[in-house]
């Protein structure tokens, strides 16, 4: 077992740390992508590390420690695996709110086989709608922005149903989503879909993992992730959001690069990514 301790989420705190991120997972959703990670940072004793989990969204963030670990211990690998598996399995921690859209790691060929088993210990994976996930994965593959368009159309339909049922739904938010995505074909042309009744199991997990772990998939989804981050910030600022942006694209980029797990090169910036989406 391990003790979960909240850590500062400020970028100043993390900029002073050194360490390594060994696993990342990204959730695309209508509210903007959330990029999450697990890794360790160094302590004064060179053999002592602190394992951590961090969630980053352009409007929010959270970080926790999941305990110390001795990097020179013969049990280092097994301890790390057990600790991370336990963190994924924790309902209180909720490391994984839904099935990830993108996963990266720094494990070798043999150890990487354990990654999907770590993640599938999460309640959200066991309880996830695998028929829905495989529908989107088969239809869109690495086209994460196209997928996001249709998923947002699904969200809009659900919000309207809730409003009709008398639930408290902000109509301005629904209108904002419709205006924001009106010119995206996958949003404008989306129709209700009856998903296959696929339950959690080895076969759907295998198909999901084999698709998202391909090097071509990871290369092709790097730009859409950057575009979604930069675009979400632009839309929030243009829409007069009352919440301040706390994580710029450059801050996100530099954090992962600083922990030895670069998601983009140094040449990627808000300005350059913005040009690819016309802002």
Question: What does the pLDDT profile of the chain (279 residues) look like in tens digits?
Answer: 678 999 999 999 999 999 999 999 999 876 789 999 999 999 999 999 999 999 999 999 999 999 999 999 999 999 999 999 999 999 888 899 899 999 999 988 767 788 999 999 999 999 999 999 999 999 999 999 999 999 999 999 999 999 999 999 999 888 888 888 888 899 999 999 999 999 999 999 999 999 999 999 999 999 999 999 999 999 888 766 678 899 999 999 999 999 999 999 989 999 999 999 998
Order of all β-strands in the sheet with 102-105: 5-7, 60-70, 48-57, 34-42, 19-27, 102-105
Residue 68: phi and psi, rounded to 5, are -80, 160
183 and 67, same structural domain?
A: no
Judgement on whether residues 23 and 102 belong to the same structural domain of the protein = yes
Provide the token pair at 262. 């670069």
Look up the domain containing 243 and give its range: 5-128+200-276
Task: Say whether both 67 and 184 belong to one domain.
Answer: no
Angle between helices 215-238 and 249-258 (to 10 degrees): 140
Check: CB of residue 32 under 8 Å from CB of residue 232: yes
Quote the pTM value: 0.92
Residues 109 and 56 in one domain: yes
Same-domain status, 163 and 224: no
Same domain, 20 and 89: yes
Are 206 and 107 found together in one domain? yes
- Among 205, 237, 179, which Cα is nearest to 249's? 237
pLDDT at residue number 228: 93
CA separation for the pair 224, 227 (Å, rounded): 5
Nearest to 28 by CA among 123, 121, 155: 155
Contact 249, 233 (CB under 8 A): yes
**How many CB atoms lie under 10 A from the CB of residue 156?**
19
pLDDT at 248: 97
Q: Are 72 and 45 in contact (CB under 8 A)?
A: no
Query: Domain ends where: 149, 181, 199?
Result: 199
pLDDT for 189 equals 95
Choose the final residue of a domain: 199, 234, 261.
199
The reply to whether 45 and 88 lie within a common domain is yes
Q: What pLDDT is stored for residue 240 in this prediction? A: 65
Q: Which of 137, 171, 199 is the last residue of a domain?
A: 199
Q: Residue 28 is encoded by which pair of tokens? A: 């695309």
The answer to whether the beta carbons of residues 50 and 68 sit under 8 Å apart is yes
Number of compact structural domains in the chain: 2
The string of DSSP letters for 193-225 reads -----PPSSHHHHHHHHHHHTSHHHHHHHHHHH
């Amino acid at each position: 077992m391990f003790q979960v301790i909240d850590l500062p989420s400020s970028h100043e705190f993390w900029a002073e740390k050194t360490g390594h991120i060994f696993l990342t997972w990204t959730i695309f959703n209508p509210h903007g992508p959330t990029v999450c990670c697990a890794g360790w940072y160094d302590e004064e004793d060179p053999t002592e590390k602190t394992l951590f989990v961090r969630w980053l969204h352009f409007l929010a963030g959270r970080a926790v420690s999941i305990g110390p670990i001795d990097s020179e211990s013969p049990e280092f690998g097994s301890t790390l695996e057990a600790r991370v598996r336990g963190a994924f399995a924790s309902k209180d921690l909720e490391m994984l709110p839904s099935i990830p859209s993108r996963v990266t790691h720094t494990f070798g060929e043999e150890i990487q086989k354990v990654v999907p088993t770590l993640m599938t210990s999460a309640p959200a994976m066991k309880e996830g709608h695998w028929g829905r996930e495989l529908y989107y994965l088969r239809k869109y593959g690495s086209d994460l922005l196209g997928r996001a368009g249709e998923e947002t159309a699904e969200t809009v339909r659900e919000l309207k149903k809730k409003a009709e049922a008398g639930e408290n739904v902000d109509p301005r938010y629904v209108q904002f989503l419709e205006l924001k995505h009106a010119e995206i074909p996958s949003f404008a042309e989306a129709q209700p879909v009856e998903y296959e009744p696929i339950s959690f199991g080895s076969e759907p997990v295998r198909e999901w993992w084999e698709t998202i772990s391909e090097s071509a998939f990871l290369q092709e989804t790097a730009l859409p992730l950057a575009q979604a981050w930069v675009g979400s910030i632009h839309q929030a600022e243009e829409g007069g959001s009352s919440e301040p942006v706390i994580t710029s694209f450059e801050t996100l980029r530099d954090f992962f690069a600083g922990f030895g797990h670069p998601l983009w090169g140094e040449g990627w910036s808000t300005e350059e990514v913005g040009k690819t989406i016309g802002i």
